[in-house]
Amino acid sequence: MQNILTPQNRLQMDPILKVHPCLDAGAHAQYGRIHLPVSPSCNIQCKFCKRSFNKCENRPGVTRSIITPLEAVELIAKALQLCPEIRVAGIAGPGDPLATDHALETIKLIDKRFPELLKCMSTNGLQLESKAEQIASVGVKTITVTVNAVNPDILKKICSHVLYRGRLLSGTEAAETLLNIQLAGIKKITDLGLFVKINTVLIPGINDRHISEIAKITSRLGAALINVIPLIPQNEMQAINAPSCEQLSAARSVAENYLAVFRHCQQCRADACGIPGSGVDLADTLYDYRPVLTFSHG
The parent domain of residue 254 ranges over 6-287
Within a domain: 297:
no
**How would residue 265 be classed by pLDDT, with cut points 50, 70 and 90?**
confident
In a domain, 292, yes or no: no
pLDDT at 18: 87
> Which residue stretches of the chain are H helix?
10-13, 69-82, 102-113, 132-137, 152-155, 171-191, 211-220, 245-255, 283-287
* pLDDT for the residue numbered 55: 80
Strand ranges, E, within the chain: 32-35, 44-46, 52-53, 62-63, 86-91, 118-123, 140-146, 159-164, 167-170, 195-202, 225-230, 260-261, 273-274
Residue at 293 is within a domain: no
Per-residue model confidence (pLDDT) at position 42: 95
Per the prediction, the chain carries an average pLDDT of 90
pLDDT, position 59 = 85
Using left for φ > 0, alpha for ψ between -120 and 50, and beta otherwise, residue 205 falls in left
Give pLDDT tens digits for 208-226. 999 999 999 999 999 999 9
In a domain, 295, yes or no: no
Domains contained in the chain, number = 1
Q: Does residue 1 sit within a domain?
A: no
Judge whether 33 and 86 are in contact, CB under 8 Å.
yes
Asked if the model's pLDDT at residue 292 lies above 90, the reply is no
- Residue 296 to residue 139: CA distance in whole angstroms: 25
Residue range 262-285: average pLDDT? 88
Q: What is the pLDDT of residue 9?
A: 53
Share of the chain above pLDDT 90, in %: 74
CATH number of the domain encompassing residue 58: 3.20.20.70
Q: Does residue 114 fall inside a structural domain? A: yes
In a domain, 138, yes or no: yes
Q: Which of the two residues, 114 and 288, has the higher pLDDT score?
A: 114
Is residue 222 situated within a structural domain?
yes
The pTM assigned to this predicted structure is 0.91
User: Mean pLDDT, to the nearest integer, of 236-241?
Assistant: 95
* pLDDT for res 289: 58
pLDDT digit string (tens) for 17-61? 789 988 888 888 899 999 999 999 999 999 999 888 878 788 888
Between CA 34 and CA 24 the distance in angstroms is: 16
Query: What would the pLDDT profile of 122-149 be if each residue is shown by its tens digit?
Result: 999 999 999 999 999 999 999 999 999 9
Contact 119, 150 (CB under 8 A): no
Residue 130: the pLDDT is 97
According to DSSP, the β-strands at 167-170 and 195-202 are unpaired
* Amino acid 11: pLDDT: 53
